[in-house]
Structure 1
Amino acid sequence: MTDIEYNILDELYFVVSFKDLLSETSLQESTLKIELKHLIEKGWVRSFSSPSEEIEIELSDYENLYSSLYYLASKKGLLAHNSQ
């Protein structure tokens, strides 16, 4: 796990909007976008269209929707984060 992945997962113990995550991590938008996609592909992060609905977004929709989504670390992601 990279330092960037660790820092992102550190913020995702609760559902967080892209905007808030961008602010909390102090990463560039393009970097956060790419890193979140990698974390989703690894199964470490889940993405949702709303903070109150647990309906995951398809990865194919990520490019168009990433900035309006909400994110949460998955159980697998939390285990990876806590093993560091």
Structure 2
Amino acid sequence: MTDREFDLMDELYFVQPFQYLQETLGWEEKVILESLESLYKRGLIKCLKSPDEECFYQVNIQEEGSKLYFLATKKGLMAHNTI
């Protein structure tokens, strides 16, 4: 896990919208989307349409990411806490 991914995971212990991540981290949209995509592909985060509606399809983070919410998975939390 890269330092950026680690910092991003710090914010995903609770459901967070993309806009919150942008405001909190202060990174460019492209950087956040790339980091989210990397974490998502490894099963470390999940995507949600709303705070309580998980996406049960393969999400294209680059196209949809700025409209979604994100949350660390159990696997992601374990990876984040063992570093």
Corresponding letter in the other structure for 2:63 = N
Return the alpha-carbon distance in structure 2 between the equivalents of residues 57 and 70 of structure 1.
14
Structure ranking higher in helix proportion: 1
**1:49 maps to 2:55:** no
Match of 1:79 in 2: 78
SS at match of 1:5: helix
Return the alpha-carbon distance in structure 2 between the equivalents of residues 51 and 36 of structure 1.
17
Q: CA RMSD in A?
A: 1.2
Structure ranking higher in strand proportion: 2
Structure 2: which 5+ residue stretches go unaligned? Answer: none
Percent same amino acid at aligned positions?
39
Return the alpha-carbon distance in structure 2 between the equivalents of residues 38 and 65 of structure 1.
15
1:22–1:32 contact (8 Å) kept in structure 2: yes
TM-score (norm 2): 0.91
Match of 1:64 in 2: 63
Structure 1: which 5+ residue stretches go unaligned? Answer: none
